[in-house]
Amino acid sequence: MDVALMIWIWVLLGGIAHCQRPASVNIGAVFSFDSVIGGVAKVAMEMAVSDVNADPIVLNGTKLNLIMEDASCSVFLGSIGAFRALEQGVAAIIGPQSSSIAHVISQIANGLQVPLVSYAATDPTLTALQFPYFFRAVSSDSEQMAAMSDLIEFYGWKEVIAVFLDDDYGRNGISVLGDELQKRRLRIAYKLPLSVQFDPEEITNLLNQSKIFGPRVYVVHINSDPRLRFFHIAHKLKMMDSDYVWLATDWLSATIDSFSSAQIQTSLSVLQGVVALRQHIPDSIQKRAFVSRWTKLQNESAVRMGLNTYGFYAYDSVWAVAHSIDKFIQIHKNIIFAVNNNSKLHHSEAVDIQLDKLKVFANGSDVINILLQTNFTGVSGEVQFHTDRNIISSGYDVININQMMIRVGYWSNHLGFSVVPPETLKNKGHGRVPQDQKLDNITWPGGKTERPRGWVIADDARPLRIVVPRRASFVEFVTELNDSHKIQGYCIDVFKKALEFIPYDVPYVLKPFGNGQSNPHYDALVKMVADNIYDAAVGDIAIVTNRTRIVDFSQPYTSTGLVIVAPIDKGKSSAWVFLKPFTADMWCATAASFVMVGVVIWILEHRVNDDFRGPPKRQIVTMCMFSLSTLFKTNQENTVSSLGRMVMIVWLFLLMVITASYTASLTSILTVEQLSSPITGIDSLIASNSPIGYQVGSFAYNYLTESLYVQRSRLVPLGNPEEYARALQLGPSHGGVAAIIDELPYVELFLSKHKDFGIIGQQFTRSSWGFAFQRESPLALDMSTAILKLSENGELQKIQKEWFCKMGCPEERKSKTDSNQLHFTSFWGLYLSCGVATLAALLVFLLRTIRQYVRYKQRQKDISPPSLEPSTSKCSHVIYSFFNFIDEKEEAIKKIFTHCENPQQQPS
C-alpha cells in the first residue's frame, strides 16, 4: 500500500513538473563576429533577445538565452561552434551568415532536428528538399540574380563578365545569374573566379586578362570587404573609367552601410559610378524606431559599425524563433531533448566536444511547422515564409554611388523597376507593365550620365577574325585577287563604309574561305562563325531561316530572292500589240488632244464657216470627226478663220511627230524578243521534270529540295556565268537545263552581259543579304545601325552604282526592255506648245467676240428704250443673248453694224 502511494505521488509530481513552463530556453547563434555582416548581426541579435525578454507576452516569463559561437569565416570552426551550441541544448540556431558553413550545419540540424534560421546565407542551393530544417530569413540569390538580370536587360547589354568567389556562395549565385540571363536571351561571356583569400596579385592578373575581352559590363558577386580591395585594384588598373560598367550584388551596399561617417568619405571615391543592389526594407514605425536606437548606440560609442540590411534580418530572425518557441511551449508545455542512440557518436574520440552528449530535439518537426506559419511585422517588414522555407521578399533597392550612395529606384519580382516603393504600387494594385519600367538617372563610371555601350572591340593584339567567301564567279560581289591577295567587291565596300559610322575603332582581319576554283558553300561559312572559328562573316550571305538559328545577322544591306532565268527569242506576238507603242499616260494625252482640238476648231470656225453650222447633231459629229480625220487627211471641212488655221498648223505638226514615232515604235515592238520558253513560273518549271540549274554554294539547292521537294537528280550545279549561258543554250534535250534558279543580284549581273536570256515570271522568294555575327554579338546591333545610316544618306546606292552601273543600273536595264514604248515625258513639251497655241487662239477669239457683243448691245441701247426687268433676269438675259450672238454668223453681225451706221440707206 505504501509502495503504491509512493508511485502515485511520484507520477503526480512528475506530471506537474512536466506541465510547468521551462524557466529558460537556449538558442544558438553561429556566425563570424568580426565580419561586416556578423559585427552588425551580433548587436542586432543581442538587442532582439533583450527585447524578447522584456516583453511579458512573448514566452510568458521564460527567459531566452542566446549562445553565440564564432565561426571566424571558417567552415571547420563554424561546425565546431555549432556542436558546442548543440551540446547545451538549443531549441534553434540563428545563422550562419556564410553559405558554405550553412551547408555543413544544415546537415547537423537535420540529424538533431534543430531548426536553423539564417539571416544571411543566400546560396539558392540551400533548399528545403535537401535541408528541411533550414529556414532563410533573407532573400535568396535566386531573387537577387533575377533583379540583376532585369537590370542588365533594362539597359540593353547583351553580355557580361561575372566576378565571383570560388565557393558555394559565389559559384551557385553566378550559376543562377547565368540561368536568368539565358531566359532573357543574354549571357555571361566570361567568368572570373576569385579565391576566398582575396589575393591582390590574383585579382590584378584576372582583371588584366579581362581587358582583352569585348564585354565591359562586370557583375561582382563576392563577400563583404570593408577594405574594398577589389575596387581599389580595379581603380589602380584604370578600369573605373567610362568604358566600363560595374554592377555589384548586395554585398557592396551592406559593406558601405556598415561604414562610419569617416570611412564613407574616404572609401566612396574609388566606387564612382558603381551600381549595386540592396535588399529593400519597407519604411515603417518599427524600422524608424530600430534605426533611432542604433544611431543612439553609435553616438554613445556602444556600436562602432553602421546598420546594414542584415542587421534588420538578424533582429527579426530572433523574434521569429521566439514566437515559434512560445507557440511550441503553449502546445507541448516543455522542451525535451532525447538521448542520441547513434553508436558512431558514442565511440567518438573527440577531446573538446563530447558528441555522445548531443541530443535530438524531440518534436523539432513541430517547431518547423510553427515557423512556416510565422506572420508578423518586424523591423524588416512582413515576416512570412514560403513553403520552400524562404522568406517572402520585399524586393531590392537600386543604388548608384556618386560621392554618396543614391537610391535611383526599386525592383520587385512582380512589378519590375519603378521609382516608387513596391509596397506603394502593390497597395494600388499595379502590375508589371514593360513601358512603366523606370529608374532615375544614373551617373556611370567616368562621370557620364548617358548609358555606356558596355562593349568594345578587342585590343589590337586580338583583332576580329572576319571570314569572307572567295568567290570564283560573280566576283564583283566579293573575292580575293590571286595576284595581290587583296579582298575586294561590292559587299566589302559596304562593310568598310559601315565601319565609318561605328563610333569606335574596329580592328579586324579578313580571312578568305574557299579554293578560288569554285564558290564556297555558304552554310559551312556561317557555321564557322557559330562555332567560334571566326567572329563574323562578310559577303553576299543570304539571311535564311536555318542560318538565323545559329548566328545573328545585321540589318540587310540589299534585297534579293530567287528568280527563274530562261532563253528568249523572237517568237510570239500579242493580239493587242498595237497598243504597246504608247504608255497609258501617252494614250490619254493623245486622246485628250484630239478632243481639245476638235472643240476649239469648232468654236473658232462656227461663226465664219458653213461646214461647222447646222443642226446640233451634225455639229457634234463634225466636232468629233474633224480632228480624227486629220490623222488620215480625209477631213471634208476646211478652216477659213486665221485663228483656226494657226491652230491647225500646230496640231498637224504635233500629229506628224506622234504618228512617225508610233510607226517606228510599233515596227520595233513587232520584232522585239519575246520569251519562248513554255515555262511561265516556278510551278510550271517544277511540273515539267526538266533539269534545273543552280549556282554552286547558293541556298537555292536546299530551298528547292527541302521546301519545294524538287528531286535532287534534276538539279545541275553551275559555277559561273559562262556555264549558265552554255547550259541554257544547250537546253534540256542536249544535256543542258530548261532554266536556272538563282538570286536576283546574280541574275541581273548575268543578264547585263547575256541578252539572249530573260527572267520568267515573278520573284518567288523574298530574302536579303546581311553580315553574320556570333549570337548576341553587340557589334551586330551597331553594324545594323550603321547600315541604316548608309541607306538613309544614299551611300548604299552610290556603292551599288560604282560596281554595277557601268553598263546601266539593273533598274535602268529593266526599263530598257520597254525602251520601244513611248512615254508622255518624251513629248510633254510638244503637247504643251500645242495646248498653249490652242488656248491662245481661243482667248483671242473670245476677246474679239466680247468686244463685238459690247458694241452690238451699245447700238441696241441707243436705238431702244431701257428695259425695266429685274437684275437677275437681266443677267440671265445677257448670258442668253451673248450665246445667241456667238451663234450668229460673222457676216450677219457685220450687216447689223453696217445698218446701224447708215440708217439713211434704209428703204422708205
Residue 541 DSSP label: E
The residues with which 25 forms a beta bridge, in sequence order, are: 64
Burial of 859 (C-beta count, 10 Å sphere; 0-12/13-18/19+): middle
Residue 396 DSSP label: E
Neighbours of 354 (CB within 10 A): 12
Q: What single string gives the DSSP state of each residue in 228-243?
A: -HHHHHHHHTT-SSTT
Residues 95 and 196 in one domain: no
Residue 748 lies in a domain: no
Q: Quote the pLDDT of residue 9.
A: 44
Residues 39 and 175 in one domain: no
pLDDT tens digits, one per residue of 834-869:
888 888 888 887 887 777 777 766 766 666 655 545
CA angle 563, 822, 826 (to 5 degrees): 115
Residue 168 lies in a domain: yes
Decide if 742 contacts 701 (C-beta within 8 A).
no
Residues 626-653, buried b or exposed e (16+ Cβ, 10 A)?
Answer: bbeebeeeebebebebebbebbbebbee
Distances (CA, A) of 745 to 489, 538, 667, 697, 804: 13, 16, 32, 15, 10
Q: Quote the pLDDT of residue 283.
A: 93
Residues 191 and 263 in one domain: yes
Decide if 417 contacts 150 (C-beta within 8 A).
yes
3-state SS assignment for residue 445:
helix
Q: What is d(CA 394, CA 476) in angstroms, rounded to the nearest whole number?
A: 62
Residue 647 lies in a domain: yes
Cell reading at 120: 544571411
Q: What is d(CA 411, CA 498) in angstroms, rounded to the nearest whole number?
A: 39
448691245: which residue's cell? 857
In 3D, which of 669, 728, 262, 746 has the Cα closest to residue 471? 746
Contacts for 786-790 with beta carbons within 8 Å, 24 or more apart?
A: 786/498, 786/499, 786/500, 786/501, 786/502, 787/494, 787/498, 787/554, 787/555, 787/556, 787/557, 788/555, 789/501, 790/494, 790/497, 790/498, 790/501, 790/557
Q: What is d(CA 368, CA 114) in angstroms, rounded to the nearest whole number?
A: 9
545610316: which residue's cell? 789
Structural domain that includes position 628? 577-671
Q: What is d(CA 893, CA 890) in angstroms, rounded to the nearest whole number?
A: 5
Residue 214 lies in a domain: yes
The residues with which 279 forms a beta bridge, in sequence order, are: 396
Query: What is the number of domains present in the chain?
Result: 3
Residues 277 and 399 in one domain: yes
Decide if 518 contacts 696 (C-beta within 8 A).
yes
Q: Which amino acid is at 692?
A: I
With residues binned 3-state (H G I as helix, E B as strand, rest as coil), the percentages for the chain, rounded to 5, are 50, 15, 35
Residues 225 and 368 in one domain: no
Residue 777 lies in a domain: no
Distances (CA, A) of 75 to 119, 137, 167, 476, 592: 17, 21, 11, 68, 100
In 3D, which of 769, 897, 848 has the Cα closest to residue 491? 769
Q: Which residues contact 277 (CB under 8 A, 6 or more apart)?
A: 144, 147, 148, 151, 248, 249, 250, 253, 396, 397, 398, 399, 411
Decide if 726 contacts 757 (C-beta within 8 A).
no
540563428: which residue's cell? 94
Q: What is d(CA 379, CA 281) in angstroms, rounded to the nearest whole number?
A: 8
Contacts for 98-101 with beta carbons within 8 Å, 24 or more apart?
A: 98/32, 98/71, 98/73, 98/169, 99/123, 99/126, 99/167, 99/168, 99/169, 99/172, 100/75, 100/167, 100/168, 100/169, 101/30, 101/71, 101/74, 101/75
Residues 166 and 59 in one domain: no
Residues 158 and 186 in one domain: yes
Q: Quote the pLDDT of residue 529.
A: 95
Q: Do the bridges between strand 416-418 and strand 217-221 make them parallel or antiparallel, or are there none, so unpaired?
A: unpaired
Decide if 44 contacts 314 (C-beta within 8 A).
yes
List the helix and strand counts (H, then E) for the chain: 31, 31
Residue 699 lies in a domain: no
The residues with which 412 forms a beta bridge, in sequence order, are: 416
Q: Which amino acid is at 607?
A: R
Cis amide linkage into residue 200, ω under 30° from 0 = no
Residues 395-412, buried b or exposed e (16+ Cβ, 10 A)?
Answer: bbbbbbbbeebeebbbbb
**Residues of the chain falling short of pLDDT 50:** 1, 3-18, 343-351, 570, 672-675, 813, 815-817, 868, 872, 904-908
Residue 61 sits in a domain whose CATH number is 3.40.50.2300
Cell reading at 740: 536556272
Maximum Cα–Cα distance for the chain, whole Å?
184
Give the residue from 671, 698, 728 where a domain finishes. 671
Q: Which residues contact 493 (CB under 8 A, 6 or more apart)?
A: 799, 802, 803
574557299: which residue's cell? 514
Q: Quote the pLDDT of residue 569.
A: 64
Decide if 412 contacts 143 (C-beta within 8 A).
no
Residue 520 DSSP label: P
Residues 613 and 666 in one domain: yes
Whole-model pTM: value is 0.66
Cell reading at 784: 545594323
Residue 568 lies in a domain: no
Q: What is d(CA 471, CA 482) in angstroms, rounded to the nearest whole number?
A: 11
The residues with which 159 forms a beta bridge, in sequence order, are: 187
Q: What is d(CA 739, CA 720) in angstroms, rounded to the nearest whole number?
A: 15
Q: Quote the pLDDT of residue 13.
A: 42
Burial of 363 (C-beta count, 10 Å sphere; 0-12/13-18/19+): middle
Residues 618 and 663 in one domain: yes
Residues 215 and 252 in one domain: yes
- Residue 440 phi, psi (nearest 5): -70, 165
- How far is C-alpha 607 from the geometric centre of its chain's CA atoms? 76
Query: Would you put residue 514 in left (φ > 0), alpha (ψ -120 to 50) or beta?
Result: left
The residues with which 570 forms a beta bridge, in sequence order, are: 674
Residues 235 and 178 in one domain: yes
In 3D, which of 734, 686, 738, 743 has the Cα closest to residue 716? 738
Give the relative orientation of helices 285-299 and 309-332 as an angle to the nearest 10 degrees.
Answer: 120
Residues 53 and 169 in one domain: no
Residue 586 lies in a domain: yes
Cell reading at 724: 549558265
Give the residue from 630, 652, 671 where a domain finishes. 671
Decide if 565 contacts 758 (C-beta within 8 A).
yes
